[in-house]
Structure 1
Amino acid sequence: MNDLIQTLAVYAIPVLFAITLHEAAHGYVARMFGDHTAAIAGRITLNPLRHIDPIGTIVVPLGILLVSSLGGGGFLFGWAKPVPVNFGNLRRPKQQMVWVAAAGPGANIVMAIGWALLLNLLATLGVDEPFFMKMATAGIMVNIGLMALNLLPIPPLDGGRILTGLLPARLAWRFARIEPYGLFIVIGLMATQTLGFFLQPFYRLGITLVRLFV
């Protein structure tokens, strides 16, 4: 039980901010391109209470951490309430939806870099407090993991929306039709233990980007 409490304390802030800022970034970039839906809904905010999904932000991550503390392992992930975006309100919907979708993973890589800089700063200052070192390390890995998961080219994940925006119109329309089945595809990858294989290129991308700045 003590191990679980310590793990929760280490991961709580990194997970909360990783998920919250990911969603807020979508709304912020959408507003830049002309869609004020998220702003009107009060979702362009750093207040985590505006973004928390009881299942995705609390129950799922908590369950994974519980299993991990018992030696079961598991890929830590979660989600917040999706920020409402009306792509039809964008000035150039097909092109700008790419940037709106990319904003979430982009926010995560920025946060991963920030946690890495904090980790280096602690080491430089000679702060040898295991709790803060573990929290900074968790911040790096949580954000890279969330970025990697969301970059999978499966709608409605951000990678799926990015690919939809990049494909020619006819192919994009056909590809977007798999969106209702996207969650089941991800669950299927997890069930067959192949999700990690598809995430590896995005993990490597995230680690490479962090190392460029640290």
Structure 2
Amino acid sequence: MFENFDLQAVIYALAVGAIPVLFAITLHEVAHGWMASRLGDKTAEMLGRLSLNPIRHIDPVGTVAIPAILLLLGSPFLFGWAKPVPVNFRNLRHYRRDMVLVAAAGPGANLLMACGWTLLLGIFAVLGHDSSVGQGFMSMAQVGVTINLLLMVFNLLPIPPLDGGRVLAGLLPPGPANALSR
């Protein structure tokens, strides 16, 4: 089972990937809560979930256990999730419109982060990355772009309970929206 296990590669992958992944999931969730707060629902704010502290958004199973098991098993991909920020959509001022905006805020944050990591990639390319530290930062920026684009696209799939499902439900007439949400 562990004959092809490369501890050094695992440590490098964790060192390069941990920061972009933690930023991606934390800012994605905070964006939902921030937008909901601006549109009338203070639930996440009252529960302290607008925090940039990633520990507030870690789901023990989805953020730690599942990715760790996949990593140890040598999986070619990792899968996981964060603890969703609570939103009470009934508190929003304009329920349907605001549901779309709250749902789109997470993937929107991932798009902005992908742009930020792309900018860092460009800076590292101009400054050079000859050292192992420079190569590590280049790898980290590449992971940042990739993970944020993957999270954005995945979360925009029009399948409840993903963000895209909520966006679609907010854009559909009430009958089809209710059917989709069931």
TM-score normalised by L of structure 2? 0.91
CA distance in structure 2 between the partners assigned to 1:134 and 1:60 by the alignment: 23
Does structure 2 conserve the Cα–Cα contact (< 8 Å) formed by 1:77 and 1:146? Answer: no
Q: Secondary structure at 1:152's aligned position in 2?
A: coil
Partner residue, 2:64? 58
Distance, in Å, in 2 between the alignment partners of 1:73 and 1:157 is 23
- Is the counterpart of residue 123 in structure 1 residue 125 in structure 2? yes
The answer to whether 1:73 aligns with 2:80 is no
Question: Which aligned pairs between 1:39-188 and structure 2 lie closer than 5 A?
Answer: 39-67=45-73, 70=74, 72-74=75-77, 76-128=78-130, 129-177=134-182
Aligned to 1:36: 42
Q: Secondary structure at the match of 1:42?
A: coil
Whole-angstrom distance in 2 between the partners of 1:65 and 1:166: 38
Q: Which runs of 5+ in 2 are unaligned?
A: 1-6
Alignment correspondent of 1:12? 18
Alpha-carbon distance in 1 for matches of 2:89, 2:149: 27
- Write the distance in 2 (CA, Å) between the matches of 1:112 and 1:45: 21
Secondary structure of 2:177's match? helix
Residue ranges of structure 1 left out of the alignment (5+ in a row): 178-214
Which residue in the other structure is 2:4 paired with?
none
Change (3 A) 1:15 1:158: same
Deviation at 1:108, TM superposition (A): 0.6
Counterpart Cα distance in 1 of 2:146 and 2:79: 11
TM norm structure 1? 0.78
Q: What is the aligned-residue identity percentage?
A: 60
SS at match of 2:25: helix
Q: Report the 3-state secondary structure (helix = DSSP H, G, I; strand = E; otherwise coil) of the residue aligned with 1:82.
A: coil
Q: Give SS of 1:121's match.
A: helix
Deviations 1:6-29 (A, max 9, x none): 111111111111111100000000
Counterparts of 1:135 and 1:142, CA distance in 2 = 10
For the Cα contact (< 8 Å) 1:151–1:158, is it kept in 2?
yes
Equivalent-residue separation in structure 2 for 1:60 and 1:116 (angstroms): 28
Alpha carbons of 1:152 and 1:165: their partners in 2 closer, same or farther (altered >3 Å)? same
In 1: Cα distance, 2:96 partner to 2:176 partner: 13
Count of residues in correspondence between the two structures: 173
Q: Deviations over 1:167-203 (max 9, x none)?
A: 00111011110xxxxxxxxxxxxxxxxxxxxxxxxxx
